[in-house]
Amino acid sequence: MSNPYLKVMYSHQIEDLGSKLFHFAKTFQWLISAKDADLDRAETIQKILKSCQEFGFFQAINHGVSECLMNDTMSVFKEFFGMPAEYKENFFSNDPNKSCRLYSSTLNYDKEEVHYWRDNFTHHCHPLEENMQIWPEKPTRYREVVGTYSAEVRKLLLRILDLICEGLGLELGYFGDEASKIQLLSVNHHIPCPDPSLTLGMPEHCDPNLISILHQCDVYGLQAFKDGQWIGVEPLPSAFVVIPGLQLRVISNEKLISPKHRVVTDAKESRTTIGTFLIPSHDFLIEPARALVNENNSPLYRTFKYKEFFSTFTGKIFLVLYQRFTVHFGYADLARSDMEKASNTQATQFFGNLGSFLRKCFFRVLCIGPVPNHIAFIMDGNRRYARKHKLIEGSGHKIGFLALMSILRYCYELGVKYVTIYAFSIENFKRRPEEVQSVMELMQEKIEGLIKEESIVNHYGVRVYFIGNLKLLSRSVRLAAERAMAATAGNSKAVLSICVAYTSTDEIVHAVQESCEEKWDEIRVLDASGAGYGLIGLGGSEMDEREHLIDIADVEKHMYMAVAPDPDILIRTSGETRLSNFLLWQSAHCHLYSPSMLWPEIGFWHLVRAVLDFQRNFVYLEEKKKQV
């Protein structure tokens, strides 16, 4: 090859590649003009998603990057690879941490059993002003042309990612900022190979980044694996091949695939391709987008930082990358055979049962101390969680519901009999009408789910109460709440109080009004029977009047929350210490716990810490109650 540092190529016999070419039938015109009709945009989005689901990639034409710029950039790189070896030696390195490097085969050259027929030149591109100074000074127009090309391709990729966002139902810009912070340019140069049957230009692999875009030259070489065979991807003039990476596969929760692909060699012609990769920052959390995860679509991958992925797989671009990737980071691999899926299901069930067993063992240890009888939750941070993770509006509340189901399970396993949640304040009705409507629709959906036979409330024998001024709810939501209360009326093992259309001040006013009405009714009955001795007038004795004064017991009897004792622990997520007009009357002597995480992030150990804090302060709290 052109690089004199390439070692002897090991023989690597591959199967007959054949001459079959595959013109990518899903190629389409991708127009980014703001004048595009909504119908065209929607159709374009659907084509992108369908192509990425069926083939794992697509080719884009009419993309906005000028043909002249594409040709100039290709010419610059061909000129660079044709420069004297003494000049290119300045960039030669197998160090993956070097920002500008030239190497042969792969970064694992000294350890790999098979060498591949390519030279690769890679460097960072974003921000341009910080990286351009390390780029080659020759050819003389390298920095100018490649800088312009890199900026245009980045804009194109971000536009494509926004269309993917829209198609998946994610917030616009979800893949911006830290998700696509690093831009890497990777140019492969393959000189004619004397015997293409002995080696590949690049091994089969999946791209490890967020998304890739490839500018092919006019020489065939790229192949994709589909339906059990390798199929050629025909080079199209002025077209880009767009390929989702493994990180996009994770974030989409496998709604998009990251295709396995490779490069074959040519015996007669050189081939140069320009790849651009968008890569997350090293501290960026990779996980299935919460908007794509629900009760029917469990996350297929665990959360991990990109640097964990990078440190595990640096330089390993072989197929084993994907296989090891699912082992390290995946919960499931949908590409496995039925037998493997069944085996995986059994393993998942085993570890799930093991986790449940260990959790119950831990709770038994925790039960050595005092166990709270009643825990109340202010579920704060759903909207902030959605904004933090760039999810569409309403997604935070849906994910928060999943967190609630887990917390309820933990509470009932621990032996907590009463759980109260602050689901919707009267003040929340002041939010935008469409937001309120969205929350009400979600609430109705989840309420109706509570009365299903397999629901958590029936599993643990939980009676459900809806607490608050229910007259403020829409008729459909109110009727759903009434059906849920009626359906669970026979459950007696635990109680779940759901505060909706609730504030503590409204509860207190309601209780006082009801107490007054009750006393007046008593007085009227006595007066009508002649036994009241004129209490309604001015003739009653002082003792008679005292008997008909309203006391604390009267007020508490008419509280919405009379169905449960005062809480032992009140947990408010997001680090806020305000009670926000919740259980002001009942929380005078309860333990307050304010973890910093947002409600959808709450988990098992947060509950454990709250209970441990309660146990440490138990004696003090009990003494305070006695002083009242």
Query: Each residue of 435-492: pLDDT tens digit?
Result: 898 889 889 888 887 777 567 888 899 999 999 999 999 999 999 999 999 999 999 9
Domain CATH for 128? 2.60.120.330
Provide the H-helix boundaries in 389-503. 395-414, 433-450, 456-459, 475-487
Do 175 and 232 belong together in one domain? yes
**Among candidate residues 329, 347, 378, the one where a domain is terminated:** 329
Provide the H-helix boundaries in 18-82. 38-54, 67-81
The answer to whether residue 8 is domain-embedded is no
Give the pLDDT confidence score for residue 194 in this predicted structure.
Answer: 77
Supply 397's token pair: 């509340």
The answer to whether residue 547 is domain-embedded is no
Give the pLDDT confidence score for residue 341 in this predicted structure.
Answer: 41
Do 320 and 374 belong together in one domain? no
Give the pLDDT confidence score for residue 354 in this predicted structure.
Answer: 64
Residue 403 pLDDT grade (very low, low, confident, very high; cuts 50, 70, 90): confident
Do 388 and 323 belong together in one domain? no
Residue 33 pLDDT grade (very low, low, confident, very high; cuts 50, 70, 90): very low
pTM value > 0.85: no
The answer to whether residue 360 is domain-embedded is no
Do 287 and 415 belong together in one domain? no
Do 301 and 387 belong together in one domain? no
d(CA 160, CA 176): 11
The answer to whether residue 9 is domain-embedded is no
Domain CATH for 618? 3.40.1180.10
What integer best gives the mean pLDDT of the chain?
Answer: 81
The answer to whether residue 354 is domain-embedded is no
Do 152 and 282 belong together in one domain? yes
What does the H/E/C string look like for 97-152?
CCCEEEEECCCCCCCCCCCCCCEEEEEECCCHHHHHHHCCCCCCCHHHHHHHHHHH
**Among candidate residues 329, 356, 384, the one where a domain is terminated:** 329
Residue 336 pLDDT grade (very low, low, confident, very high; cuts 50, 70, 90): very low
Give the pLDDT confidence score for residue 89 in this predicted structure.
Answer: 87
The answer to whether residue 2 is domain-embedded is no
Do 390 and 465 belong together in one domain? yes
**Among candidate residues 269, 301, 329, the one where a domain is terminated:** 329
Give the pLDDT confidence score for residue 226 in this predicted structure.
Answer: 83
Provide the domain count of the chain: 2
Do 417 and 485 belong together in one domain? yes
d(CA 343, CA 404): 30
Do 124 and 269 belong together in one domain? yes
> In which domain, by residue range, is 100 found?
21-329
Q: Which residues are catalytic?
A: 380
Do 207 and 110 belong together in one domain? yes
pLDDT tens across 525-578, in order? 777 776 555 555 545 555 555 566 788 888 999 999 999 999 999 999 999 989
More confident residue, 481 or 626: 481
Supply 340's token pair: 């493997």
The angle that helices 604-616 and 395-414 make with each other, rounded to 10 degrees, is: 50
More confident residue, 483 or 390: 483
Question: In percent, how much of the chain has pLDDT > 90?
Answer: 41
The answer to whether residue 552 is domain-embedded is no
Do 65 and 167 belong together in one domain? yes
Residues paired with residue 186 on neighbouring β-strands, in sequence order: 122, 275
The answer to whether residue 534 is domain-embedded is no
Do 98 and 32 belong together in one domain? yes
d(CA 475, CA 481): 10
Contacts of 366 (CB under 8 A, 6+ apart): 414, 608, 611, 612
| Burial annotation 438-447 (CB, 10 A radius, 16+ → b, else e) | bbbeebbebb
